[in-house]
Amino acid sequence: MSKRIGMEIAFAAAETVALCRPDVIAAYPITPNTHIPEHLSDIVAEGRLDAEFICVESEHSALSACAGAAGAGARVFTATSSQGLLFMQEIMPIVSAMRLPVVMAIGNRALSGPINIWNDHSDIMVQRDMGWVSLFAANGQETVDMVVQAFKIGEHRDVMLPVNVNLDGFQLTHVVEPIWMPDQREIDRFLPPYEPFASLHPDHPLSMGTLGVPEIYNEVMMGRNVALVKSKKVILDVWKEWEALFGRRYKPIESYEAEGAEVLLLTMGSLSETAEVAIDELRREGVAAGLLKLRLWRPFPFEELREAVEGVKVVAVADRACSIGGPGGPVFAEVRSALYGEPERPIVVNFMIGIGGRDVMVEDFKNMVKKAARMKHVPAECAYEIYGVRGS
Amino acid sequence: MTEKKWPETWQEVNPGCIVFTPGSARSYLTGSWRAQKPIWDNTKCIKCGLCYLFCPEGCITEDAEGYFSADLDYCKGCGVCAHECWPRAIKMVEEG
């Protein structure tokens, strides 16, 4: 039976990983994800989890160790943040190309420089095109649930891809929340032992990570793309099963007060809950505003997005990363591009907020919605704004 | 049956490009890359075996008399053996 407890989300994530019975954990500490592997190493040291905890000398080694262990058929887990994730970058596409279902928690943090340990999404956005399934949690409960779901999704024979679970640094990692913690029996029922498609063993030799010459590279890329696109079906199935077992529903895009809305805010991660309060207040003031919470970043839920914005006049996308010198924030660029071919489409505008840990208040969201509602025509290069910049 | 050099369609590529046949590199004849081939002058050869040690392809073998030669199915013609052979017993000769 699940039990409702108060626990720091990073610790809860670690406890949940332990319930998933990983064979190997390799991680290198970096704020703000550190409490996750730190607590896992405690769990292993206490003998509560029979796993190999590899204290590596860098994030590059952490993910390399995970790749090797996953290749040998182990269920593996790692976690990181910010520059640590960037240090893993070289291995990120290799893990997905080798179709290894590594699960990684990312305590999202701004990139240096200037050096900044606080929360935004610029670390994961750099990894956007690395071929991983990418989930965003809005609170502690979603973090816990998504960690378990991540193993099930990634290990599914129709997917066989690595999965990252994004939880906002500090705003989530370091916050104590009431969380329904599943118990071992529930997790064992939901998540069977990992059965790899292939594994490295001297008794049945095979080669992984081989050379892909130009004559084969396009075909490989096609296979990787199809696998990630098609993973959405598995993700939806896993979420359906989760709902049946635990009663908590997950959708790629969740609508909040979107019915009859003229302006929709779109957020990812922990800001969604502040945005909900703003929407409540706006509705009370008579503003037809609603909210879309994006949970699934890769594969991008194109269909669900188009459905969710039907009949809406303006979509205001809140990005927590900048594509410097580009079209705006990465989420915005995706949303606008997804709607470009639609005969009737809303105006899409972009506010880059909460960058480098800058606080975003309920009032800020209300301002953004009101500003977006006034926009009738937006030239392509003027559709974004770094919100709240002094002197602009 | 002739073995296919490449999978014909993307669906035929194994997930993760996993190669299930051990030692399958043997069926790929890298000798087709070669523009020059190594020729040994056994009157200069001192049987030191440096060519054998340095060959990156591992295609040089020693015969019963202790002299060396390259398996031209795999020799890429890189010339490392000729470069390393200090008695200058190996010459790289144009193919064709």
Please write the tens of the pLDDT for every residue from A239-290.
Answer: 999 999 999 999 999 999 999 999 999 999 999 999 999 999 999 999 999 9
Residue B94 is classified by DSSP as: E
Interface test with B, best of A102, A161, A213, A216 (most B CBs within 10 A): A216
What is the per-residue pLDDT across A289-346, written as a single tens digit (0 to 9) for each?
999 999 999 999 999 999 999 999 999 999 999 999 999 999 999 999 999 999 999 9
pLDDT digits (tens, 9 = 90+) for B16-57: 999 998 888 888 899 999 999 999 999 999 999 999 999 999
Q: Which residue of B has its CA nearest to A161?
A: B16
| pLDDT exceeds cutoff 50 at B1 | no
Q: Does A76 touch chain B (CB under 8 A)?
A: no
Burial group, residue A343, by CB count within 10 angstroms (0-12, 13-18, 19+) = exposed
Kindly indicate the confidence band of residue B2, based on its pLDDT and cuts at 50, 70 and 90: low
Structure tokens belonging to residue A246: 């635990």
pLDDT of residue A73: 97
Residues A346-373: tens digit of each pLDDT: 999 999 999 999 999 999 999 999 999 9
* B2: contact with A, CB 8 A cutoff: no
B window 11-70, beta carbon within 8 A of A: 11-13, 15-20, 22, 24
Among residues 3-22 of chain B, which lie with CB inside 8 Å of chain A? 5-7, 9-13, 15-20, 22
Q: Which of residues 147-206 of A touch B (CB under 8 A)?
A: 160, 197-198, 205-206
Q: What is the pLDDT of residues A139-156, one digit of tens each?
A: 999 999 999 999 999 999
pLDDT digits (tens, 9 = 90+) for A39-87: 999 999 999 999 999 999 999 999 999 999 999 999 999 999 999 999 9
Nearest CA-CA distance, residue A22 and chain B, Å: 22
User: Which of B10, B19, B24 comes nearest A223 by C-beta?
Assistant: B10
What domains can you pick out in chain A, each with its CATH number? Answer: 3-246 (3.40.50.970), 253-386 (3.40.50.920)
User: Does the pLDDT at position B83 exceed 50?
Assistant: yes
Chain A residues with CB-CB distance to B10 below 8 A: 218-220, 222-223, 226
Separation between Cα atoms, residue A324 and residue B47, nearest integer Å: 63
Residues A180, A4 contacting (CB under 8 angstroms) = yes
Q: In 3D, which of B38, B66, B30, B43 has the Cα closest to residue B54?
A: B38
| pLDDT of the residue at B3 | 58
User: CB-based contact (8 Å) between A207 and chain B?
Assistant: yes
**Contacts B6 to A, Cβ<8 Å:** 215-216, 219
A198, B16: Cβ pair inside 8 Å? yes
Dist CA A386 CA A326 (whole Å): 13
**What is the structure's pLDDT at A298?**
98
Are the Cβ atoms of A219 and B22 closer than 8 angstroms?
Answer: no
Q: What is the pLDDT of residue A211?
A: 87
CB contact under 8 A, B17 and A210: yes
Q: What is the mean pLDDT of chain A?
A: 96
Which residue, A142, A138, A40, A132, is CA-closest to A88?
A132
Q: What is the structure's pLDDT at A382?
A: 81
pLDDT digits (tens, 9 = 90+) for A204-233: 999 999 888 899 999 999 999 999 999 999
Nearest-CA distance A202 → chain B (Å): 11
pLDDT of A235 > 80? The answer is yes
Please name each of the domains of chain B with its CATH number.
30-94 (3.30.70.20)
The yes-or-no verdict on residue B5 having pLDDT over 80 is no
Q: Which of A79, A92, A84, A246 is nearest to A173 (CA)?
A: A79
